[in-house]
Structure 1
Amino acid sequence: MDSSALNQLKTDFLKARAERGIAILCSVGVALAYLLLLVLLYLFVDLLVTRGSIPAYSQLTPTKQKEFAEEWDKRSEAERSEAVKRVTSWDTQVKVLIGGDKTPAPTAYEWELRWRAGVYLALKERVSPAAADAYLPEKPLASSEDIPRLGVLGLVVRERNQWTGRLLGPIASLNSWMWRPNSNNDANTKYLTGLFVLAFVISLVRGVMVNTLAYLAAAVTLDIVNRLRRAVFLHTYRLGSLLPRSEEPAQLFTRQAESVGSAVSASLTARFRSPIMVLGLIVLILLTNLWLAVSFLLLAALVWLVGGQFAAHFRREGRIGARQAETSLALMVESLSLLRLVKCFRMERFNQNRVERQLAESGRSGWRKMRGAALAQPLLSAIALIAAVALLYLAARAVLAGEFTVAGLVTMAVALASLLPPIADLFDYRLKLRRGREAAAAISEFLARKGEPSEAPDAEYLPALTTKVEFRGVKLEEPGTGRKLLENVNFTVPAGSRVAIVGTDPAEKRALVELIPRFMDPNAGEIRIEDKNIRWVTHESLRTQVVAVMQNSWMFTDTVVNNIGCGDQQFTMPQIIEAAKLAHAHSFIEQLTHGYETVVGQHGHDLKIGERFRLALARALLRDPSILIIEEPAGSVDEDTLALLDDTLERAAAGRTLIFLANRLSTLQGVDRVFLLREGRLVASGTHDELWENNEHYRRLQMIADSASEVTADDND
């Protein structure tokens, strides 16, 4: 999927640039520090196994002895002469050790002396003359026991012709603590201490970088998630009623923003750390022993192909078995519910045979499901274990043949085990990145939508309604879907009257009344208040005169005071209480635990439907609008509450124009006019009695509503 949306969101919303850069550096540093610790592990294990000793000639394998002989022959006579004088002062023996065409074949002892001379030259070339002198001082040694243990120099000598020896040589020349002997003619103690100090420092630095990375990644992630949520929140208010689905902002605000945050977090951690880890570990494995590394890769490919295919087959079998078992179980449950039918038609034997077949099929399906689930993972583990044993056998043979060291084997094993977490992190990063791209595309599309109608630069002030509200040829399509909600709607509501909107589609009714406070503009036609097109009046004056009490916005989680006053400081406590009394809400508010300071809403004190409605009505009455839009409670309400609601609505009607989205017969009977919407068109209007007598669709609509009310009442009883 295209990453442009995600990259654009990062550019627009990711402001913590410094933190992001430091996090990336820490991510790279964590990977490099781990690789350095593996190198130190190699040196540590080698020191434990060899104790820093340089091998004698007799300890070399025949292959190594042959390599040394060829290496010795390639040296100049001057080099050989200088080195030989370090191991013996006898002229006759010097000539034999230097070698030549006419010299007799050297004895085993002479080969040992020649080996010491070769080691001296190798240390002088690879490390430094001081290191060579530490191995063979100017006075010839009496025996091999006098040769000191020289820390890393033993590894340099054994692997002098490999990359490890060539790399360690210059490092040892700059760090004499790795090989310089102490007064006891031993360098191992200082070398071991140095390795532990290095490991401690690197581990400490790596730990600091890991914690810093986690902290900065969390800070960057929270920063972009909060910025995205703020943008979604603000744009949701810009869109308002233009949203085709009310749950869309909630998904963007929560799940989609989190997905983008997870992708950003993974891009700071796994994106840089894991590739470096994988590449570095593979290079280390290949350099440790190329032949064994290739063998491992071949075995890993074999496990991947063969084991993966077998495991996939058994998982597929398990899924098929699970579906079949579910079907069989559903059929058996159905058979249990046929008791009366079986007895009525005397089909006991038939039903018994049917159930037996279903039980047999369920057993086969269950076995197929269990076999698939039980064999998939164990089979893959068994194949991987066989491959690991084979690799261990090959490695052991290489160690016994002298082609591989124990230190190399341990390091390779740890490196192989260390490959799994970064590979898993890379797969997890790809998954999070894909989800982040999808979420970023959804958020970008949402933020690119045009918001609610803006206010005209020269908008007029709208006074209180004294004449009429008029709809002229209004057409409206649902934003985002294009579904027609209103089609050529024309009607007039005189000031001070009470009207009701009814219809089969709640979306059409809500769309019609939401046009009045200009939450959205019609696609065609106009709405006029006081003979002013509401497109050309200020939002503030329009929404001061038009207040809506809708079911989806009765309450929010806060105190009763804030639910009524909405945090507006211009409303005093006496005014809030007076509005609550007018809406018949004061009595139940006083009975709450903390009165007007009680937290109500979804995450606070739960109120009944009638109480929530009266609280919302108090909020509207506090603002004293001239046009009040009321969506009546759709749920069941007890008789006492209904009486209070009727009285509340009667009080609210004084001096106001009321537009009802009616759900009660008493409201329809009490309004001056009822407008009937059907498929977006205004098909009829009149009083309740007129429509009941003359409109079949209206009668059917009311009968359906009455039936639903009776069912609800029976359920409550």
Structure 2
Amino acid sequence: MGPVSNRQPNAFHRAFPAREFFRGSARSVLFWSLFNGLLLTLILVDLFLIIDLLNHRGKITVRGEQNVLALQDIRSVEAPVIVPEQEAKPENELDEAGPDEAKSEEGPGKSAEIEKGNTETPAPENPNYLILTDTGILPSVWWVQVKYQNGILKQLYQRFPLLQENQSALFTLILVALVLASLRVLIRWRSRQLSLKISRHVSMTLRSMIHRQALRLGPGDLSGKETDQAFNLFIKDVEVVENGVFQWVYRMSQHPVTLLILFLFAVSIDWRLTFQCVIPLAAAWYFLLQYRKNYELQHAKTLVSIESELSLLAENLRSTRLVRGYGMEIVEHDRFQKHLEKYSENTTNLKRVEGWVHRIARGLAVFCSCLVIFLVGYKVLLNPESLPFSAAILIVGIFSFFYLPVNGLYELIGVRSGANIAASSVYRYLNKIPEVSQAVGAKFLEPLSQALQFENVSYRLSSQEPEILSGFDLKIPAGTSTAFVSLEALAPRAASYLIPRFIEPKSGRVLMDGEDSAWVTLESLRAEAIYVGGNDLCLTGTVKENIRCGDERYSLQEVIAASKEVRAHQFVQNLPQGYETALGQNGEELTIGECFRLGLARALLRKPALLIIEEPEGPLDEDTKTLLEDTYSRIFQNRTIFIIPSRITTLRNADQVVLIHEGKVEAVDTQANLLKKSALYRHWEYTRFNQFRHLQEPSNGR
């Protein structure tokens, strides 16, 4: 991993680079989005035909010999119905505009007038009228032919007889709309699945990286903070990144294409009207965005003020003794009422601002809707020949559909920002360098046979925190049992972690038979110095797999022998499938003591020369308490033992107890001697084991 700044401005881009948009599944999403846009275009055309069919009812009137011939060519018929030239043009009739000034008839009830010749306007010289009814989508075909000189609809009309009659045309168009809409749903589902596949791949990659990093950093986590951080990153932050990638791929492939198609379709109908509508709509949207930004800033400031006032109000509840003791009831009441009124005022202002935001948003929506309807309606009234009523309705619908993709892209900004913050946290964790690494040319470590020595060791968690160990000097003979105790909870654990090199000393050395542990291989060191944590959980798997830890070299007989040595065989045999019983999630749940005994069996199976035991902090079951004495008496023989005790009996059985205070060795002796000689040790033992240690002391009035 390369170095990344603390702010991680491109963390999201690092998780999902822009070039990935044109590779693999993301490229497929783009392809399906384009196909989805094509279907949207067909649906819009289909809606236009449906609206126009309902508007004209399949009736068309044209004038002029050339128009009659052109319409005859579209219908592929030889004998059109021609009204004699003596019949006058009906009053207020709108003829279809054509190459020879043909005009389309509008409005219901005019067919009868045409047939009767009921009009106040004299017929023009040598007029030829062609009146057709029940022609399906022919009026739409004629308008498209005249406006765009495009013959696609003409060919469809000629090849599909179902489009040539009103009822069959309406049924066919509705059926086509349903089919196209169903295809769009399927394509959107497919795009969604591909987007999910991409986001899951990103999340799996990040989780694999976090897992590897946790294995590198986790052993040195004294306080458990890094483990908690890794867990939160693994569960929460990666999920935020996953959702961000999904939304980014899915919306960025869908919404821009949709907006482009809607815009181009509106432009194709009437480009002047489209720009007349788009410009004020864009200005209104920009104003709303700026208002939202100002609102968010004001909202954040108001929330801070509200929290401050609440803190002051709550603080008054803790000063009742002072108030009553010094007779400050009136002053305190006035002060409380002042803060309470300010809190109420801030809360009211917050609600007022929120209300204004909603009202302005609704007002802009109503204004934009009225503006679009006015502009479109004015164009229809001004020049109905160039913009049929059906096309006008479609333009209004298109501008209504603009809201969803535009708002989706706006929301995507916030989604990406949140995903970028989460990705920054992930990459900051991944960029941490483990403090323990194997030296070049490291030696193989032989089992401990003489002594283990801490030589002026110092250790701290970070440069901002105090030292846990400072000038720590200690020499322990091999083959003895030693207990580490301290008022500082992390000190015994830090001393124990230094032995298998889970952590590195900031200064000083840890020597094994005179050999610096920093210059031996980690594999040989941790094979001879095994750590058994009291709070270690069982792995997900069978009992046998938990004890083997994936090492197939150990047979079932060896696993059973190790279990018997720590007195775990009996409870394992009582499990439903014995050593094949599944543990962990969806398996058997063991007690703390049973997990601890399995941990001891796991360590003893490897026959280490040095064993480090951290006893569980939680309460042990009675079986474990009874059996541990016998277990320790056997496993303590012929090996070096370091133990962090949680039971007084363990201290009594240890060969020596090391008392650590302020990072240094305060005393080394048996438990009985320390109890007599060291007041500090007596205090420690009291705070840990005295049965009255949890009783509350009488209140001193503070």
- With structure 1 as the length reference, what TM-score do the two structures score? 0.73
> What are structure 1's unaligned runs of at least 5 residues?
58-79, 88-105, 124-139
Seen in structure 2, the aligned counterparts of structure 1 residues 328 and 695 have a Cα distance that, compared at 3 Å, is closer
Counterpart of 2:582 in structure 1 is 599
Matches within 5 A, 1:612-627: 612-627=595-610
Matches within 5 A, 1:290-689: 290-291=272-273, 294=276, 298=280, 368=348, 379=359, 383=363, 386-387=366-367, 388=369, 392=373, 395-396=376-377, 399-400=380-381, 403=384, 405-451=388-434, 453-456=436-439, 458-478=441-461, 484-601=467-584, 604-637=587-620, 641-689=624-672
Can you list the C-alpha shifts for 1:321-348, whole angstroms capped at 9, x where unaligned? Answer: 986997899799x69x99x999x99x9x
Seen in structure 2, the aligned counterparts of structure 1 residues 531 and 602 have a Cα distance that, compared at 3 Å, is farther
Correspondence for 1:51 among 46, 57, 74: 57
In structure 2, how many angstroms separate the alpha carbons of the residues matched to 1:185 and 1:675? 97
Q: Does 1:241 align with 2:219?
A: yes
In structure 1, how many angstroms separate the alpha carbons of the residues matched to 2:99 and 2:22? 57
Q: Note the C-alpha offset of 1:37.
A: 1.7
Q: Does 1:262 align with 2:243?
A: yes
Counterpart of 2:156 in structure 1 is 177
* RMSD (Å) for aligned C-alpha atoms: 5.0
Q: Note the C-alpha offset of 1:549.
A: 0.9
Counterpart of 2:98 in structure 1 is 119
Correspondence for 1:274 among 255, 265, 268: 255
Aligned residues: 645
Counterpart of 1:65 in structure 2 is none
Q: Is the 8 A contact 1:148 1:185 kept in 2?
A: no
Counterpart of 2:80 in structure 1 is none
Q: Note the C-alpha offset of 1:493.
A: 1.2
In structure 1, how many angstroms separate the alpha carbons of the residues matched to 2:426 and 2:163? 71
Q: Note the C-alpha offset of 1:524.
A: 2.9
Seen in structure 2, the aligned counterparts of structure 1 residues 406 and 516 have a Cα distance that, compared at 3 Å, is same
**Residue 43 of structure 1 aligns to which amino acid in structure 2?**
L
In structure 2, how many angstroms separate the alpha carbons of the residues matched to 1:307 and 1:516? 60
**Residue 264 of structure 1 aligns to which amino acid in structure 2?**
V
Q: Does 1:6 align with 2:4?
A: no
Counterpart of 1:19 in structure 2 is 25
Q: Is the 8 A contact 2:62 2:131 kept in 1?
A: no
**Residue 248 of structure 1 aligns to which amino acid in structure 2?**
Q
In structure 1, how many angstroms separate the alpha carbons of the residues matched to 2:285 and 2:133? 48
**Residue 438 of structure 1 aligns to which amino acid in structure 2?**
I
Q: Is the 8 A contact 1:517 1:542 kept in 2?
A: yes
Seen in structure 2, the aligned counterparts of structure 1 residues 528 and 448 have a Cα distance that, compared at 3 Å, is same
Seen in structure 2, the aligned counterparts of structure 1 residues 14 and 480 have a Cα distance that, compared at 3 Å, is farther
**Residue 591 of structure 2 aligns to which amino acid in structure 1?**
K
Bigger shift: 43-52 or 362-371?
A: 362-371
Q: Note the C-alpha offset of 1:561.
A: 2.5
Seen in structure 2, the aligned counterparts of structure 1 residues 84 and 533 have a Cα distance that, compared at 3 Å, is closer
Q: Note the C-alpha offset of 1:55.
A: 5.0
Q: Note the C-alpha offset of 1:29.
A: 2.8
Can you list the C-alpha shifts for 1:468-512, whole angstroms capped at 9, x where unaligned? Answer: 111223233436977644333221111111111122333332222
Q: Note the C-alpha offset of 1:54.
A: 4.2
Q: Is the 8 A contact 1:325 1:365 kept in 2?
A: no
Seen in structure 2, the aligned counterparts of structure 1 residues 373 and 594 have a Cα distance that, compared at 3 Å, is farther
Correspondence for 1:30 among 33, 36, 41: 36
The SS at the match of 1:551 is coil
The SS at the match of 1:491 is strand
**Residue 238 of structure 1 aligns to which amino acid in structure 2?**
R
Bigger shift: 462-471 or 423-432?
A: 423-432
In structure 2, how many angstroms separate the alpha carbons of the residues matched to 1:414 and 1:206? 18
The SS at the match of 1:610 is helix
Q: Note the C-alpha offset of 1:676.
A: 2.8
Bigger shift: 371-380 or 677-686?
A: 371-380
Q: Is the 8 A contact 2:60 2:131 kept in 1?
A: no
In structure 2, how many angstroms separate the alpha carbons of the residues matched to 1:223 and 1:604? 28
> What are structure 2's unaligned runs of at least 5 residues?
1-6, 72-84, 103-124, 697-702
What is the percent sequence identity of the aligned residues?
25
Can you list the C-alpha shifts for 1:536-589, whole angstroms capped at 9, x where unaligned? Answer: 333333222111111332423333322223233233333323322322323333
Seen in structure 2, the aligned counterparts of structure 1 residues 600 and 170 have a Cα distance that, compared at 3 Å, is same
In structure 1, how many angstroms separate the alpha carbons of the residues matched to 2:259 and 2:70? 47
Q: Is the 8 A contact 1:177 1:191 kept in 2?
A: no
Q: Is the 8 A contact 2:686 2:693 kept in 1?
A: no
**Residue 510 of structure 2 aligns to which amino acid in structure 1?**
I
Can you list the C-alpha shifts for 1:635-670, whole angstroms capped at 9, x where unaligned? Answer: 234666434323322222111111011233333333
In structure 2, how many angstroms separate the alpha carbons of the residues matched to 1:205 and 1:611? 58
**Residue 150 of structure 2 aligns to which amino acid in structure 1?**
P
